[in-house]
Amino acid sequence: MRPAVSGCISILVMFVLCFGCGGGSSADPPGAALPGSGTVPLLGHVVLVVEENHSYSQVIGSSVMPYLNSLVPRAGSATQYYANLHNSLPNYFELTVGETIATDDLYTGTVTQDNIVRELTAAGKTWKSYAENLPSPVSTGVGVPPYAKDHNPFAYFSDVLNSSTQAANLVDFTQFSTDLANGNLPNFSFLLPNNLDNGHDCPLGLSTCTDNQKLAFIDSWLQTNIDPILQNPQFQQDGLLIITFDESSIDDTQLGGGHIPFLVLGPRVRAGSQLSTTFQHQSTLRLMLEAQGIKTWPGMAATAPSMAGFFH
């Protein structure tokens, strides 16, 4: 950044949607933070989407984000989820390394610490980072706007920089729709909207804009790109979709990076469940690895609060 329960309906980076009949009891009061199974289920496909620089209060209940808010009653939501810091890059590292690593978005170093790529690879799992406007396939360079390398933590990992096999998993976002349609989603997908689509900058064609215009553009991007995921038969069998923000607005420094939205969707998520536990990005890293059956969680993820309460 810069200056930036449940009822049985049908449906999981951070619902019983129309994924088939889901669990939960009709006796559970809507929105209640009731305990879940206490176990994160083993899931085949985890998808993380990270938006930029807006607070929980700006997003949840906003009339300019009808699509995202239409998902809330069918999602699992963390009502007390906080980013770790301002600016962007340390939050993306917390999501994937479990450590801050750097506080400057202009960081040019190499991350050698344990990370999500290392753990996924060791477990025989596949992954891809799908980035809008990636400078070129397999690119680990800075690129030019609206692409932002500081939103793509995988481009800093020694595991990726030192391996042509791993670097091949850095692809342009256009590859995602092809992989989804062909049933070729990896076990873990990181979806990176560019700075025109993620709420960081003004939408295309606008030199100045309001926060509501940014939020409306995020919502449109989500509707275009998230609906196909939720309707995908492969995802409906064993998918988990996490939607969150890297950090809150710059004036919100609660717990470091401010109060932000966090939703999970998928066939094993308790629709309408809400957890009031205080979470930060390291809990999401733990969740993403747990859902792949991986029990080694890097950095602060090793001691982060569990999100198992979202699941039935």
Tell me the sheet residues that pair with 241: 47, 265
Per-residue pLDDT of the chain in tens (312 residues, 90 and over written 9) = 444 433 333 333 343 333 333 333 323 333 344 455 579 999 999 999 999 999 999 999 999 999 999 999 999 999 999 999 999 999 999 999 999 999 999 999 999 999 999 999 999 999 999 999 999 988 898 989 999 999 999 999 999 999 999 999 999 999 999 999 999 999 999 999 999 999 999 998 799 999 999 999 999 999 999 999 999 999 999 999 999 999 999 999 999 999 999 999 999 999 999 999 999 999 999 999 999 999 999 999 999 999 999 998
| H/E run at residue 127 | strand 127-131
Cβ pair 217, 203 in contact under 8 A: yes
Q: What residue segments make up the domains of the chain, in order of their start?
A: 45-310
pLDDT of residue 20: 34
φ/ψ of 136, rounded to 5, equals: -165, 160
Q: What would the two tokens of residue 249 be?
A: 């607005």
- Distant-in-sequence contacts of 215-220, Cβ < 8 A, 24+ apart: 215/54, 215/58, 215/59, 215/62, 215/64, 215/65, 216/64, 216/65, 218/51, 218/54, 218/65, 218/68, 218/193, 219/64, 219/65, 219/66, 219/67, 219/68, 220/67
The residues facing 10 across adjacent strands are: 21
What is the predicted pLDDT for the residue at 36? 56
pLDDT value of residue 16: 31
pLDDT value for 12 = 36
DSSP 179: H
User: What span, in angstroms and rounded, lies between the C-alpha atoms of 154 and 163?
Assistant: 12
Give the DSSP per-residue string, 53-89. S--HHHHTT-TT-HHHHHHGGGSEEETTBB-S-SSHH
Position 214 scores a pLDDT of: 97
Q: DSSP letter for 153, please.
A: G
pLDDT at 138: 87
Burial (0-12, 13-18, 19+ Cβ within 10 Å), 176: buried
Distances (CA, A) of 118 to 148, 153, 170, 177, 296: 23, 13, 15, 25, 10
pLDDT at 28: 35
284-295 in b/e form (b: 16+ CB < 10 A) is bbbbbbbbbebe
Number of H helices, E strands in the chain: 10, 8
Chain centroid to Cα 97, Å, comes to 14
Amino acid 1: pLDDT: 45
Other Cβ atoms less than 10 A from the Cβ of 85: the count is: 22
Q: Which residues pair with 279 in a beta bridge?
A: 81
Query: What does the pLDDT read at residue 32?
Result: 41
Find where tokens 């906080």 sit. 82
| Helix, strand, coil percentages in the chain from 3-state DSSP, rounded to 5 | 30, 15, 55
User: 0.85 exceeded by the pTM?
Assistant: yes
* CATH top-level class of 45-310: alpha beta
